[in-house]
Amino acid sequence: MQQMTKIKEIKFKMISPEIIRKLSVMPVVTSEVYGADAYPIDGGVMDPRLGIIDPGMRCATCGGRIGECTGHFGHIELARPIINILYLPQIRLLLTHTCHKCGALLVDKTKLQEGISIKKLKIATICPDCGEKQGKIKLDKPSTFVRDKHSLTPVEIREQFEKISDETAGLIGIKGGRPEWYILTLMLVPPVTARPSITLESGDRSEDDLTHKLVDIIRINHRLADNLEIGAPDFIIEDLWELLQYHVSTYFNNEISSIPPARHRSGRSLKTLAQRLKSKDGRFRHNLTGKRVNYCARTVISPDPNISLNDVGIPEIIAKELTIPIKVTKQNINEIKTYIQNGPDIHPGANYITRPDGIRKRVINENKESILEELTAGFIVERHLIDDDIVLFNRQPSLHRMSVMAHYAKIMSHKTFRLNLCVCKPYNADFDGDEMNLHVPQTAEARSEAEQLMLVEQNIKSPRFGGPIMGCDQDYISGAYLLTRTGTEFTKQETAQMISNSDITADLKKDTYTGKELFSFAIPKGINLEYKANTCRNCEICKKAQCENDAYVIIENGELKKGVIDSNGIAAFKGKLIDIIDMEKGHTEARIFIDHITKIITHTMMKFGFSISLDNLDTDKKTQDNIHKGIDEQLVEIDKLIETYKKRKIEVSPGRSQEETLEDLIMIELWKITNNTQQIIDKNVDETNTAIIMARTGARGSIQNLAYMSGLVGQETIRGRRIFRGYTGRTLSHFKKGDLSPASHGFVRSSFQKGIDPIEFFFEVMKGREGIMDSSLKTRVSGYMQRRLVSALQDIKIGKDYRVRDSSGTIIQLIPGEDGIDPAKSDGGYINKEIATKNRLNKKQAGSQTTKELPGIYENMDLTKKEKDLLKKRYLNLKYEVGEAIGVIAAQSISEPATQTTLRAYHSEGRTQLVTTKGLPRLIELFDARKIPKTPTMEIYLDKEHNNKEDARKIAAKIKETKLKHILKEDSIDLINLRVELLPDKTILHNLDITTENIISVIKKGIKYINISSEKDIIIIEIAENKKQDYTISDLQSIRVRVRSLFIKGIKGIEQAIVEYENEEWTIKTLGSNLKKVLKMPGINMTKTTSNNIFEVSKTIGIEAARNAIIKEALSTMREQGVDTDIRHLLVVADAMTNDGTIKAIGRYGLAGQKSSVLSRANFEETVKHLTIAASAGEIDPLESVIENIIIGNIAPIGTGMIKLKVKD
């Protein structure tokens, strides 16, 4: 058997005519494909010397059959040289930067040697070597180059390129071949095996698209050669030459702009070489990085509450098809003989055996006895899957690491995969017809890695946020509440029955047990925990153990003393109890705990029963009266606001217009209606109501959902605002124009239980349409963001020196995540606010005397050696492992929640209603490093002296860009006197400290050929006397428009400046950003003021500040949407983007598109471009990253793939 060798690097080069001839086994000379006998014609594109695709035939070159012969190349001698369309940019560069007479460089050679880009250097018009004047080169698309109106033929271009020396070509960057090879004189014909034909039902053959193009090239090439031989007129030669150029160009790439694609008679475009390589269906992504595999299965999934979290139920029919190779030894030979005796039809059996000499046999009834007789140690038997075999389980789309996990097989009847319900969250699986994939590892190494690293219990905690991603859901949560609430008791017999299904061992001495005691049987000893349950009513003063609602959970030494268990204790993402067991007792104990409680809760639900009906949504008359009374009161308040607005007496909010202020105030009142309704329903619905149990425990739904069903739907919004779309001045024809009432702009007073009227239904579906559109479009956008992030960060890992490095060895972080702690092992990074603030000092208490004493206190806090060792051990256990692919994990941790959850694109910041870009669009803006954000904003802090409301308003007025239109009360055109009249608003002028003289001065500077004056606060603009005859009314309209847009004061670009009071501090939030000018203003706190424009931050403060801005913006964007992602992941992205001192995007023009690996760049995007550039430049791919090693079949150098073993002599 031939020994396999590992590929260490790949060098890319252009193929020379000499190598083409050496590779070729024959010239392809005829366009005929098959003869009259349907046999391939000699010298044609299907000649048997190029390989064979028909069974029974032998290759005419090597004599091999199908599977043995890989095929052989041929070649076509072109009648005239042809431009290689893939190298047009390089050809143009050479034509413009080298002398057409002597081939010398036309740019400064020394500067080129210093590393300055050739495109930045000045091109000489006269050759410095031979003195020849150079013409201007122009490209007439698609492939004709013109020098001073003379069209250059490929022959002339090739002649010029032949004069270029190797040294000159190397300076320009052509190190993978000669410049003249850009002009083709002969073409390589791929083997038949690379373009096989298929036989149709009719018996006819259908040829591959490449074969069709090759036939076209050969046919036109022959016609051109024949016409050249007989001396045909030039125009015929040129037409045929151009046609040959077209066919060769579309053979290489059939999607070139300005070239019509080659098509079949049916109209379908041909799929030629470039199309075979690029896109999702191309060779790279479809065949090399995404491979189909054997030993896998796929079927529908269904729930099974009786199997362990680690297990997966596999249908016996699948277990008999999927096999595991077992080597026969003296110890297991009897067991394996049983498998062979059972054969392929009886489980557990065997399907194949492989003898030590490599011969493989299928086990069938006829040969079982002979196989058993010759079976000895050294044979390999492929047996059926059996219980406790390790398998991989996957659900697509695979958005994060836990989308593929290892399970122990449990062979079962029926035809679906079965899994524990608590493992659904990481797979994002449900049971409405979902299908999942099963893979069976075939080597001991793969099985060992799967069990140690990928087993379900090893992945209970998510690396995204450091909390449990697995836990109970829905009925389990409701059942846990029913089990542990006060008053639940069981007899000794019932208790024994409820724990009988689990492995819990308990000495039942009492006659009765409470639900809390029963639940405590599942909690490991030594667990101590206190927390608020989800049923907590958020009382002003927490009574803890004395809580009237039993919502304060106390667990002491593994016993549930107080409180009810709900989502805050055992649910995925929130389960504090699961989290602490995993941290303190280990993954196995956490898995056993989940297994035990799910079985106990299942019995609880079977005992008590739990269902919901329409009756659960009923509320009494008093509750409904209270709801309607609250609605009516708030609607009266809204009517008052509208009346005040119509009288123009409404108090305008800072930075807002009267209309915007009114909308803000109406939305606040409408929010009060919704909030009040929810509170009424929460207080008045019976605690035994199953709907309220589900909502309060966090099992399913919320009080808001109950309010929709039983109270009212409330205000429907589009992009954070009331609905205004529809007819001119009104949403529907049922309302009067200018109607501002809630009912006319999307307020739905009815509940779903009572039914909504047609108008309310219209508004409801408008809102629903927005949600559907957002979700459908978001999936594509977020998927592409994940692909870019993964491509950019895939080679970032923990090096052997514990530095974070990329594949080239560049240090990204000195310490992973700045503290070395793996988020998957952490506690989520949250501070216990209750403990942290329990002994908080006020300013007087924390005076200078206390500060002086602190060093002494610290010095007396020496830890014992035992305590230090314990802390050190704990920290070392929390650290990242060497080889961890933290780049990919960071990419997944950011993009997985972006895909799975609805990240809203529009978000209103509190009461100010400053609408800014948020959610997924904002994340994409950040990671794409866009120069100008869609909604640039600033958060301006004031120094101590100016930190008051009055100064904040003054500074906001100075900052906001004020145009003349902002301060006008009225503007009009006087058609009789041919003039424009402006009436400024005195109140605004006073507030902004602007005078009429200021306005007149600005107008004079901005508009020419006018006379300007003022009469009784009215500013009059007249056309100058010498220009009046030439002016028309449309010119007056133009002046009016131009005048309104004149800049008066403030900072350009700051459209809004809104004053807010937060955390005992006055701040100014702006729409628009100009950090440099704002920081120069007096009264500004320079250390805290920030902008969301990362390029502006980098230019003004520096790259470190920009890096911090990326982290802050991304973190706040995700937290606003309720997405919990550990900051360490964002640190990796920000550090990678700013590593070289500039801000780089993650996409094709940044990190992903600028990698040193050719295969990595080609796999991401612009496949053909990167391959052709690499060949021209003679690039070497060192194969140091992940994707290129997957492409060539090597083990990826991450994780265990980084380790290399050597045998010590």
Q: Could you tell me where the beta strands, DSSP code E, fall in 148-284? A: 150-152, 183-189, 198-199, 205-206
C-beta of residue 348 within 8 angstroms of C-beta of residue 322: no
Q: Which residues of 528-560 are buried (b: 16+ CB within 10 A; e: fewer)?
A: ebbbbbbbbeeeeeeeeeebebbbbbbbeebbb
The residue among 166, 181, 196 that closes a domain is 181
Q: Are residues 621 and 714 in the same domain?
A: yes
List the one residue out of 697, 695, 724 whose CA is nearest residue 711: 695
What would the pLDDT profile of 1036-1052 be if each residue is shown by its tens digit?
Answer: 888 888 888 888 888 88
Question: Mean of the pLDDT values across residues 24-53?
Answer: 90
Q: What is the mean pLDDT of residues 450-474?
A: 93
> Which one-letter amino acid corresponds to residue 134?
Q
Residue 376 belongs to a domain = yes
Contacts of 983 (CB under 8 A, 6+ apart): 968, 969, 970, 971, 1017, 1018, 1019
For the entire predicted model, the pTM comes to 0.88
**What's the confidence (pLDDT) of residue 10?**
94
Q: pLDDT, tens digit, for every residue of 664-685?
A: 899 999 999 999 999 999 888 8
Distances in whole angstroms, Cα of residue 889 to Cα of each of 129, 822, 1128: 57, 11, 10
Structure tokens at 628: 């309607």
Residue whose structure tokens are 């030459």: 241
The phi and psi torsions of 1180 (rounded to 5 degrees) equal: -120, 125
Is 512 domain-assigned? yes
Residue 427 phi, psi (nearest 5): -80, -15
How far is it, in rounded angstroms, from Cα 896 to Cα 426? Answer: 11
One domain for residues 167 and 86: yes
3-state secondary structure of 908: strand
Q: Are residues 309 and 434 in the same domain?
A: yes
**Tokens standing for 1157?**
């690996």
Residue 432: give its domain's CATH number: 2.40.40.20
Nearest residue to 1179 via CA among 9, 8, 11: 11
Output the pLDDT for position 871: 87
* Beta-ladder partners of 138: 146
For 404, other C-beta atoms within 10 Å of its C-beta total: 19
**What is the average pLDDT across 293-307?**
94
Domain boundary at 384, 414, 435, which? Answer: 384
Is residue 175 a part of any domain in this protein? yes
Stretch (H or E) spanning 114: none
**According to the model, what pLDDT value does residue 857 have?**
47
352: phi then psi, degrees, rounded to nearest 5: -140, 155
Domain containing 1022 — which CATH number?
A: 3.30.1360.140
> Residue 839 pLDDT > 60, yes or no?
no
**pLDDT over 70 at 180, yes or no:** yes
Binned at pLDDT 50, 70 and 90, residue 873 comes out as: confident
The answer to whether 576 touches 477, Cβ cutoff 8 Å, is no
Q: Kindly report the average pLDDT of the chain as a whole number.
A: 88
| 370 inside domain | yes
- Determine the Cα–Cα distance for residues 803 and 814; give it in Å rounded to an integer: 5
Q: How far is CA 1188 from the centre of its chain?
A: 21
Closest to 15 in 3D by CA, of 253, 249, 170, 177: 177
Domain total in the chain: 6
Together in a domain, 596 and 511: yes
Nearest of 595, 516, 566 to residue 700 by alpha carbon:
566
Task: Give the closest residue to 924 by CA, choosing from 934, 913, 914, 915.
Answer: 934
Domain end (from 360, 384, 408): 384
How is 995-1059 classified by DSSP, letter by letter?
Answer: -HHHHHHHHHHH--SEEEEEETTEEEEEE-GGGGGG--HHHHHHHHHHHHT-EEES-TT--EEEE
Please tell me which residue, 1009 or 637, carries the higher pLDDT value: 637
- CA 251 from chain centre, in angstroms, equals 35
Please tell me whether residues 561 and 650 are part of one structural domain: no
Instruction: Indicate the SS3 state at residue 1115.
Output: helix
pLDDT tens profile 425-448: 999 999 999 999 999 999 999 999
And the tokens for 549? 């609602």
Query: Is residue 667 located within the same domain as residue 737?
Result: yes
Structural domain contains residue 235: no
Q: What is the pLDDT of residues 92-101, one digit of tens each?
A: 999 999 999 8
Do 360 and 377 reside in the same domain of the chain? yes
Q: Is residue 914 in a domain?
A: no
Strand segments (E) across 12-126: 24-27, 73-83
What is the percent of the chain with per-residue pLDDT over 70, rounded to a whole number? 94
> Residue 844: inside a domain, yes or no?
no
Kindly state the DSSP code that residue 186 receives in the 8-state scheme.
E
CA distance 641 to 665: 8
Whether the pLDDT of residue 855 is over 70: the answer is no
* pLDDT for the residue 815: 92
Alpha-carbon distance 340 to 319, whole Å? 15
- My answer on whether 447 and 516 are in the same domain is no
Tell me, yes or no, whether 524 and 578 share the same domain.
yes
The reported pLDDT for the residue numbered 912 is 43
CATH for 334: 3.30.1490.180
**What's residue 427's pLDDT?**
94
Kindly list the distances between the CA atom of residue 1083 and the CA atoms of 16, 1053, 1066, in Å, as whole numbers in the listed order.
Answer: 70, 20, 12
Same domain, 310 and 430: yes
Please state, in angstroms and rounded to a whole number, the distance separating the CA atoms of residues 463 and 889: 7
Q: Return all residues near 927 (Cβ < 8 A) that are at least 6 apart.
A: 785, 788, 789, 1114, 1133, 1137, 1145, 1146
Provide the pLDDT for residue 1056.
84
Q: What is the pLDDT of residue 816?
A: 92
Q: Are residues 500 and 588 in the same domain?
A: yes
CB 1123 within 8 Å of CB 922? no
Q: Which helix (H) or strand (E) holds 1192?
A: helix 1186-1192
> pLDDT digit string (tens) for 1055-1102?
888 888 888 889 999 888 989 999 999 999 999 999 999 999 999 999
How far apart are the C-alpha atoms of 501 and 494, rounded to whole Å? Answer: 12
pLDDT digits (tens, 9 = 90+) for 49-73: 999 988 888 899 998 888 889 999 9
Residues 525 and 634 in one domain: no
Q: Which residues contact 187 (CB under 8 A, 6 or more apart)?
A: 20, 75, 76, 78, 217, 248
Q: Which of 43-52, 1004-1013, 1054-1063 has the highest mean pLDDT?
A: 43-52
Dist CA 376 CA 333 (whole Å): 8
Highest mean pLDDT among 822-836, 843-857, 953-967: 953-967
| DSSP, res 437 | E
Predicted local confidence at residue 979, as pLDDT: 82
Q: Which residues constitute the domain of residue 585?
A: 475-608
Smallest Cα–Cα separation from 785: which of 891, 665, 714? 891
828 domain residue, yes or no: no
Q: Pseudo-torsion of CA 975, 979, 982, 983, nearest 10°?
A: -60
Residues in the chain: 1209
Question: Residue 730 and residue 1042: Cα distance in Å, rounded?
Answer: 31
